[in-house]
Amino acid sequence: MSRAPPPSKKPSAAPPRLPPISEDKYPFFNQSMELAQVVLPVQRKPTLGELLKRVEDAQNDTSPPHQVLNLTNYSLPPPSSPFVLSFHNLTYSVNVHHKMSLPWCFNHQNDVTLTNSPGHYNDVVEEKISNNKILLNDISGKAREGEIMAVLGASGSGKSTLIDALADRISKNSLKGTVRLNGEVLESRLLKVISAYVMQDDLLFPMLTVEETLMFSAEFRLPRSLSKSKKRARVQILIDQLGLRNASKTVIGDEGHRGVSGGERRRVSIGIDIIHDPIVLFLDEPTSGLDSTSAFMVVKVLQRIAQSGSIVVMSVHQPSSRILSLLDRLIFLSHGQTVYSGSPENLPVFFAEFGHPVPENDNRTEFALDLIRELEETPGGTKKLVEFTKSWESNLSKNQQPSTENQISLKDAINASISRGKLVSGAAPNNLTTTTPSSFPTFANPFWIELAVIARRSLTNSRRMPELFGIRLGAVLITGGILATIFWNLDNSPKGVQERLGFLAFAMSTTFYTCAEAIPVFLQERYIFMRETAYNAYRRSSYVLAHSIISIPSLIFLSFAFAATTFWAVGLAGGFSGFFFFFFTITAAFWAGSSFVTFLSGIVSHVMLGYTVVVAILAYFVLFSGFFISRDRIPAYWIWFHYLSLVKYPYEGVLQNEFDTNPVKCFVRGVQMFDNSPLRAVPAAVKIELLKSMSKTLGMNITSSTCVTTGIDILKQQGITDIGKWNCLWITVAWGFFFRLLFYFTLLFGSKNKRS
């Protein structure tokens, strides 16, 4: 049953909207985040580019810093013909596979579970036959410059899917229909230049301040030709535009560090994607999880962005009446179909003509969403409402006067925007002759600038969390201390040989297991990386190389700490040259291990699953390293895994560093040959008599001081004869580069951030 008003009451008119931008007054945030009245005599708000000159002039002024810009007497050029984003007959469906859900897929099970409710009966029959679920069904509409278009609907109605379709986050092979800007089909490369997409989740580095976060975004998105001072000025303008002045020096924060509020965090998320003043801004539920005041502030910021010359398209779950007054166009969806498309003022008229007038004191959007949900639960579903929407839009278009606006070409419109200061990401030249994708450089900055900015940002974030490196250093020192005290000052006896082998095997394997702590590093940045690379903030190669370079100093420090703690205490051979080779090998092992773990973190998207996979594979590496079973004893069908073992090469390298010395060391002399046999308990005199008997039998003189086993003999017993120690070192280093390369290809092909 649908909701209806009492018979004696008539539907009320829509609540009054805030004055449009053409009026004399326009709300603006002051420093205390309260709405203040600022007089604007112009038709359009200034862009960020137009405000740069104001900021440069203000820098030479003696007035107090960080004040909201006075726009009262600032004149603007006449507005250009607006941009119009139109989309026609968008249809998108996915194949539903009925299979057992894995533990990490529980959050997706509602997408593939069929329902038996009456409103879905026909859909259920179709899905059971074709296994095809329609998420968007023939959606059309328009969004104009200076306006906010909001997509509304219940959970699962297709809001986020429609935003993804407009933002080119769905594969072209799967999406049917067209998306045009000023009548021209949008290519993916062009859309990345002129648009921005704000995800529903706030994906930010927790230990960066608000100002630093926006500044790093500016260094990524703004061109090298723009000076540092102008980039900083643009950030300051944006901070004022977002109402973040009081929080500009506050860190973002996370569960363990106090930071900005939820509303401020959301505005920062918006800010990092509008730093280049995009023409089109897409947002997926920007008010989700915020209180009513914070949500209103966010939408108020979006209105200001739209009125500065942008198209804003966002999804919203259930807007309040205050937020509704800021919206210019609404699209209601139900199971991927349009059930209303038009302005908020026309909602009461629409539902009154449909036979369900809006009650006088009800929120219009709440009433519409409740009515749609009630219709979805009826046998006929929303079919009548969908058909009524089509006929109502058809009649409305017939009654409207044909548009007399001369829509300029996309090329001219973009040039006009550039002249007003928009699109300063460096991706668009000053004078376009064409809007083909080849006319736009893919990235705003060269490779080496991206490399420097990524490295500086990561170092800044890591420097403010010293406990992470401290814990890792502590683990290395504790492990080294335990090993040093257990294997203290080993001798050159047969038992000392076995203890040396055990120490070196454990030391090398522990080095790799310590690297497992690097798993969360990329997983925590994974979605930040996907968001930034989706719109070409930087190259994937820059990201991989920057993180590889900044990891090296910490690996060197950890390696030196471990080597210094253990080498002299255990009594390893080689002196200073032996120590430095041991240190280099530990460093190479850390490098190879961290590269391997980083590569796996690019494949596995969950921390616990990543730890399970890493621990299992490292156990196999240790098993086939040659310690538990020598190379000569490994079955032929497993010998390939021996050569793939990362532990094999540093282990063999340090063994040769220990036993292949000059001068040659002797580890078994005369009677010591009986130490590892049942004859070790025999009195020394009997052992000497046994040596004499053996001498006569073998025809050689063997005394209690005769060297029986040298270091070379031990290496031969371990099957270490094919690769020299320096080759083992270089192979270990090469493994590290190899896995970094694999990590790059994983990011290149595995982070497209598009629905298939």
pLDDT digits (tens, 9 = 90+) for 369-394: 999 999 988 888 888 999 999 888 88
Query: What are the distances in angstroms from CA 433 to CA 414, 420, 429, 439?
Result: 11, 18, 10, 8
Give the model's confidence band at 120: pLDDT under 50 very low, under 70 low, under 90 confident, else very high.
very low
**Residue 363: per-residue pLDDT:** 85
pLDDT over 70, % of the chain: 80
Query: What are the distances in angstroms from CA 341 to CA 285, 326, 337, 457?
Result: 18, 16, 11, 44
Whether residue 26 is predicted with pLDDT greater than 90 in this model: the reply is: no
Give the residue-averaged pLDDT of 223-250: 90
Beta strands in 106-239 (DSSP E): 132-144, 148-152, 175-181, 184-185, 195-198
585 CB neighbour count, 10 Å cutoff: 28
Give the residue-averaged pLDDT of 449-470: 91
**Residue 73: per-residue pLDDT:** 39
| pLDDT tens digits for range 508-524 | 999 999 888 888 888 88
Whether residue 51 is predicted with pLDDT greater than 60 in this model: the reply is: no
Report the alpha-carbon distance of residue 683 to residue 499 in Å, rounded. 25
Give the residue-averaged pLDDT of 204-221: 93
pLDDT over 90, % of the chain: 40
**Residue 625: per-residue pLDDT:** 92
Higher pLDDT, 421 or 62: 421
Buried b (16+ CB within 10 A) or exposed e, 38-76: bebebebbbbbbbbbebbeebeeeeeeeeeebebeeeeb
Question: Which superfamily is assigned to 145-163+194-394+413-439 in CATH?
Answer: P-loop containing nucleotide triphosphate hydrolases (3.40.50.300)
Domain locations along the chain: 145-163+194-394+413-439, 447-664+723-750, 666-711
Angle between helix 228-241 and helix 292-307 axes, rounded to 10 deg: 130
Report the alpha-carbon distance of residue 195 to residue 453 in Å, rounded. 22
- The closest alpha carbon to 147, from 338, 374, 329, belongs to 329
**Residue 692: per-residue pLDDT:** 84
Report the alpha-carbon distance of residue 484 to residue 659 in Å, rounded. 19
Give the model's confidence band at 331: pLDDT under 50 very low, under 70 low, under 90 confident, else very high.
very high
Report residue 749 as tokens. 């092909």
**Residue 118: per-residue pLDDT:** 39
Q: Give the lowest-confidence range in 239-253, 369-383, 447-461, 742-756.
A: 742-756
Give the model's confidence band at 749: pLDDT under 50 very low, under 70 low, under 90 confident, else very high.
confident
What percent of the chain is helix, strand and coil (3-state, nearest 5)? 55, 10, 35
| Burial of 78: CB neighbours in 10 Å, binned 0-12, 13-18, 19+ | exposed
**Residue 212: per-residue pLDDT:** 95
Three-state secondary structure of 25-84: EEEEECCCCCEEEEECCCCCCCCHHHHHHHHHHHHCCCCCCCCCCCCCCCCCCCCCCCCE
Are the beta carbons of 341 and 176 closer than 8 angstroms?
A: no
| pLDDT tens digits for range 493-502 | 888 899 999 9
Amino acid found at 384: K
Give the model's confidence band at 97: pLDDT under 50 very low, under 70 low, under 90 confident, else very high.
low
Give the residue-averaged pLDDT of 285-303: 89
| pLDDT tens digits for range 121-170 | 344 334 444 467 889 999 999 999 999 999 999 888 899 999 999 998 88
Cis peptide before 441 (omega within 30 of 0): no
Query: What are the distances in angstroms from CA 627 to CA 110, 139, 416?
Result: 50, 65, 71
pTM for the whole thing? 0.78
- The closest alpha carbon to 419, from 430, 408, 427, belongs to 430
Are the beta carbons of 24 and 377 closer than 8 angstroms?
A: no
Amino acid found at 84: V
| pLDDT tens digits for range 675-690 | 877 887 888 888 888 8
**Residue 23: per-residue pLDDT:** 37
Whether residue 60 is predicted with pLDDT greater than 60 in this model: the reply is: no
**Residue 430: per-residue pLDDT:** 47
Higher pLDDT, 77 or 235: 235
